[in-house]
Structure 1
Amino acid sequence: MELAKRVSTLTPSSTLAITAKAKELKEQGHDVIGLGAGEPDFNTPQYIIDAAVRSMEEGHTKYTPSGGLPKLKEAIIEKFKQDQGLTYTAKEIFVGTGAKHVLYTLFQALLNEGDEVIIPSPYWVSYPEQVKLAGGEPVFVEGKESNDFKLTPAQLEPVLTDRTKAIIINSPSNPTGSLYTQEELAALGEVCLKHNVLIISDEIYEKLVYDGAKHTSVAEISPQLKENTVVINGVSKSHSMTGWRIGYAAGPEALIQAMTNLASHSTSNPTTSAQYGAIAAYTEDDGSVEKMRVAFEERLHTIYDKLVAIPGVSCVKPKGAFYLFPNVEEAAALTGHETVDDFVKVLLEEEKVALVPGSGFGAPDNVRLSYATSLELLEAAIDRIFRFVEAKRSK
């Protein structure tokens, strides 16, 4: 059987690959600490679970509109008003089966063959693959580690061409945890408006910011930028609802309608009970979201200093999300490994610590370490990495 060309170019997810290898070792009886997780380690808050169960008991088990329940759209619209001071209509909101599916649908609705999308690196692994699946061409621009991995207008403007359709801004970022300031977003936005480049603002980690930092959406900076931006968000990270698969987009009505039409021929609609859970997430509050944020912040502060004390390891301290993205190029060299990928592979084999190589994120000198796991396991993992580096470099 000959497969479609579009799937032959896909790069397997590095996160899923390392997770699979760690799981295999666990099943063999090894004490593996996996730090590849891209999801909170807390259960979904009980009030959300109760709302979903109640919806099923009340008979809400049928199809819904393709773009999401009206009540959920109302809750999302109110969330934007409260958090960003933004006003959207129901026709400017699309609800999909997770933010990943929303992004996929967006690219399918937006891109024509050969259209270019600017993707700052390091980047979330699915951005370039989804662009390619829609016939577009990813254009990578390196966010310098010296600038907290963030893109500048001076870097952006020279790479824009007459084929540039959009730019992706992910703040807070997966994998770096970097957070753009309002001033930085405004400067990038000015370039995008000048060249008629759509901004795709991925804000899925919006609620997970630390040390008093403030998340800013590029759409809230000016009416012009709002009209030129599609905001991507969801309840997966903020409310620990990764498996529920509810994400959404807010943006220009024509684009949102096109995405809704596409969804009507693919998923039909997001899972009905999950939508009712998301309504509860945005209309009720038992303090769980803030408790999770505080727990992540505590973990970050506890393990950061221990991580950078490892020989050959340096790390920009993140302001959001739940990832550390240390540069371990020197540590790899100290331990006799030619590449960071080799370092990660042997670390898993010998110390049973699973990290995600930065090569999958466009940053081959780095690794991604998720602190969405218990403090006890995080500290044990850092101790093992330290032991691994010390033992190897002393030989």
Structure 2
Amino acid sequence: MEHLVNPQVKSIAISGIRRFFQLASQVEDVVSLTIGQPDFPTPEHVKEAAKRAIDDNFTVYTANAGMPELRKAAADFVKEKYHLSYDPEKEVIVTVGATEAIDIAFRTLLSPGDEVLLPAPVYPGYEPLIRLCGARPVFIDTRPFRFKLTAEALERHLTGRTKCLVLSYPANPTGVSYSREELAAIARVIRGKNMFILADEIYSEIVYGGPHVSIGEILREQTVVINGLSKSHSMTGFRIGFLFAPEDLAKQMLKVHQYNVSCASSVSQRAAVEALTKGKDDPARMREEYKKRRDYVYKRLKEAGFETVLPDGAFYFFVKIPGNANSFDFCLNLVREHKVAVVPGSAFSPFGEGYFRLSYASSMDVLKEGLDRLAGAR
């Protein structure tokens, strides 16, 4: 019956991150620095809110776009933190994680033959969703610019078929982010063109050098902002994301969301209200600890002779592999011979080849042991 499968589905593959994580998990005594899973527990008061929702029998459908109080809390949060202004009734959708928000944005706005620009190396979750829409991903090599998209590189890749720029920052896998001036330069290239920006800002609360700036503040009318609680509040399993978009776009995306999932989990939505109100500053404590880890890992990598860019945010390093080793083979050897797991750079597009991604969303003890083993492989 395989001949009945949609060819677009057959053409995509399981994430290279997950494939390597599964491979490493089968090896005994491996220190895994692979998955972007915060090691902090969900804040206690947020968990209590979820428990109360169950005890109150709040286990029902909500409005398709999400509970009104949650949409308001989300709009208030991004206004206070990032100076974004969205109408909670008409321009905010609560989604099943940021991934569903990205999916419904693409499915609403992309048509077969459209081109989507992806500054690379890039998180592997975008390309399959683009291809499922019949659109074409176009990678922009950011390696010459310390993994940042420049306005000049963007302009060179625009064609008559360009429909979208995906701008994910702080970035997975590199951890780089953008200043207001850099974002303004990108916005000047796109302003007035028949295209939109999908701004994936899921790591916006994990920024070290200053407050996060959303390109939605600069180019609101052409930007769809994606965010969520997985990284900021260590709520990955709650699966709560947010989509912020101008009303004329949001009302169309709501149709796709409605027929896709009906609504996000009611219990998770109650927990999310708690996180965005009483817990709006919970990320600060985690961010301070991540910064300590970042500085420690950077020091250890440099001491071991590895070449990397100091991340502005998130919790990843993208590290140059010495010599000309294939990234998958290098990482496989790390697992088998040195009992430490990182992710091959090839998982993040062809422009990630020659690198590996290291996640520091682990305790200092785990990081120390993992880096000791990594240094032994140098």
Q: State the TM-score, normalizing by the size of structure 2.
A: 0.96
- Report the residue type matching 1:61 in the other structure: T
- Report the residue type matching 1:357 in the other structure: P
Q: CA offsets, 1:180-214, max 9 Å, x none?
A: 0100000001101143321111110001011x322
Q: CA offsets, 1:329-380, max 9 Å, x none?
A: 42xx4xxxx4122111111011111110011112101110000011111111
Q: CA offset at residue 286 of structure 1?
A: 8.0
1:267 match: 261
Task: Find 1:234's aligned residue among 216, 228, 236.
Answer: 228
Gaps of 5+ in 1: 390-395
* Cα distance in structure 2, aligned partners of 1:69 and 1:117: 32
Task: Find 2:84's aligned residue among 83, 86, 93.
Answer: 86
Provide the secondary structure at the position in 1 that maps to 2:312.
coil
1:101 match: 100
* Cα distance in structure 2, aligned partners of 1:110 and 1:219: 17
Q: CA offset at residue 87 of structure 1?
A: 1.7
1:73 match: 71
* Cα distance in structure 2, aligned partners of 1:286 and 1:257: 27
Q: CA offsets, 1:88-142, max 9 Å, x none?
A: 1121111110001110111111111011111100111111111111111101001
- Which one is further off, 46-55 or 84-93? 84-93
Matched, 1:376 2:370: no
Answer yes or no: is the 8 Å Cα contact 1:329–1:340 preserved in 2: no
Matched, 1:366 2:355: yes
1:349 match: 336
1:129 match: 128
Matched, 1:169 2:167: yes
Matched, 1:13 2:12: no
Answer yes or no: is the 8 Å Cα contact 2:77–2:280 preserved in 1: no
- Equivalent positions of 1:118-267 (< 5 A) are 118-144=117-143, 146-210=144-208, 212-221=209-218, 225-267=219-261
Answer yes or no: is the 8 Å Cα contact 1:329–1:339 preserved in 2: no
* Cα distance in structure 2, aligned partners of 1:234 and 1:289: 12
Q: CA offset at residue 297 of structure 1?
A: 0.6
Gaps of 5+ in 2: none
CA RMSD of aligned residues (A): 1.3
1:24 match: 26
Task: Give % identity.
Answer: 39
Provide the secondary structure at the position in 1 that maps to 2:261.
coil
Matched, 1:58 2:56: yes
Provide the secondary structure at the position in 2 that maps to 1:157.
helix
Answer yes or no: is the 8 Å Cα contact 1:125–1:361 preserved in 2: yes
Q: CA offset at residue 11 of structure 1?
A: 2.4
* Cα distance in structure 2, aligned partners of 1:75 and 1:356: 36
Q: CA offsets, 1:273-323, max 9 Å, x none?
A: 001111111010385321111111111111211112224x20000010000
Aligned residues: 373
- Equivalent positions of 1:292-307 (< 5 A) are 292-307=286-301
Provide the secondary structure at the position in 2 that maps to 1:266.
helix
In structure 2, relative to structure 1, the CA distance for the partners of 1:160 and 1:286 (3 Å cut) is closer
* Cα distance in structure 1, aligned partners of 2:280 and 2:216: 28
* Cα distance in structure 1, aligned partners of 2:322 and 2:253: 42
Answer yes or no: is the 8 Å Cα contact 1:63–1:272 preserved in 2: yes
In structure 2, relative to structure 1, the CA distance for the partners of 1:288 and 1:83 (3 Å cut) is closer
- Report the residue type matching 2:334 in the other structure: L
- Report the residue type matching 1:326 in the other structure: V
